[in-house]
Amino acid sequence: MTEEIKERAERARAKKAALGEDITIEGYGKGREHETLASLEEIPEEYKKNLLDAGVDPAEKDRSGSFLQRDRSVVFSRPIQKGLELMSTTDAMMKYEWLGDYFWNVVPVDTDKYTAEVELDQTHGYFIRALPGAKVTMPVQSCLFISTDKIHQNVHNVIIAEENSELHIITGCSVSHSVSSALHLGVSEFYVKKGAKITFTMVHNWAGGVDVRPRSAVKIEDDGVFISNYILMTPVKSLQMFPTAYCVGKNARANFQSIVYAPGDTKVDLGSRAVLQGDGSRSEITSRVIATGNAKVTARGDVYGEIENVKGHIECRGLMLSDNAEINSIPVLRATRRDLDLSHEAAVGKIAEEEIQYLMARGLSLEEATSVIIRGFLNVDITGLPDALARETKKMFNLSLEKVM
């Protein structure tokens, strides 16, 4: 099987992605290896703020485990809570022969040249697993960090919630302020077993010279729940991602929520897809997008109903803060049975003048009134999280928002 996967990857080396602009992989270096850390507190001071901005706490307060990959080296990995396994995917593959069955299972290796590159030149990634029945209620924190200029980081992550387990993850992708150009390729495969639950909160804290191509998919079995919260509030050269949830089990559920603030020359093509294949399965896709400067954003949402008695909804809203920016909202519904319920709503507009005047009449300046409206627009109710994690996610959102207000 490994040889077959390698051959498929080789054949896809030059295959352009179906969505987003094409970028050149060649020309990025590998960088040097970094030493492991005894504690996250040992990360150089110049990088600690980058980690905090991506939701990673070096003190590991209220965390069930931590993982940090710097460039192409895993420098820290430690599970804290019982019932949690956490290590690099390289180490996990050496430990478990069965893990090979989870690689390239829900994300095809020949999807495009970016997935092919990850297979042909993988540099770790994280393996997170909740054992059967384990309730990992405090979040696992993981960070993929780039600190060296002009390198490419190719990671393959595998996340498994075994039967009746619960797993909460805060993951941050970040880059040092000294990096002018870099490439991040990340493949993530999630497996939600019967009666299990995964919440996955991702904060992207990139910079204007970084190209990013994540490729993610999740398989959800009977009564499984997958909740994804995505936050992007900083510039990025280009980003294209379109995670897919396959609700294969009875009453499987997938929720995607995305909050995007795109400034400057940022180019973003992102969205989420849910494929409803199990009886009673359902999904909800919600996005809030703000574009300013010369930013170009395409927000997608796809729901495919392939069996009766399923339900899906898409809500995409965009706010324009510049006449030079662009937002494309593309919701897609596809039904192959008649007894199901799929719906969508999409809207793109600007800040209403009457809203500004209303707030200014109550003593706010123009900037303060605009800030209040933007905060309200981006405020999405985060559901399905434990109270402590919901508060933490809200705090991460507020910290991200402070950088753009």
Give the residue extent of every domain in the chain: 2-402
- Model confidence band, residue 398 (pLDDT cutoffs 50, 70, 90): low
If phi over 0 gives left and psi between -120 and 50 gives alpha, with beta otherwise, what is residue 253? beta
Among the listed ranges 29-43, 133-147, 345-359, which one has the minimum average pLDDT value?
A: 345-359
What is the residue type of 356? I
- Model confidence band, residue 192 (pLDDT cutoffs 50, 70, 90): very high
CA distances from 1 to 4, 7, 8, 105 (A): 5, 10, 11, 12
The string of pLDDT tens digits covering residues 70-87 is 999 999 999 999 999 999
Number of H helices, E strands in the chain: 7, 20
pLDDT at 389 exceeding the cut of 80: no
The string of pLDDT tens digits covering residues 258-316 is 989 899 999 999 999 999 999 999 999 999 999 999 999 999 999 999 999 999 999 99
Q: Are 129 and 67 in contact (CB under 8 A)?
A: no
Interatomic CA distance for residues 187 and 78, integer angstroms:
21
- Pairing assessment for the beta strands 135-146 and 65-70 based on DSSP bridges: parallel
pLDDT at 405 exceeding the cut of 60: no
User: What does pTM read for this prediction?
Assistant: 0.93
- Model confidence band, residue 212 (pLDDT cutoffs 50, 70, 90): very high
At 135, phi and psi to the nearest 5?
A: -115, 95
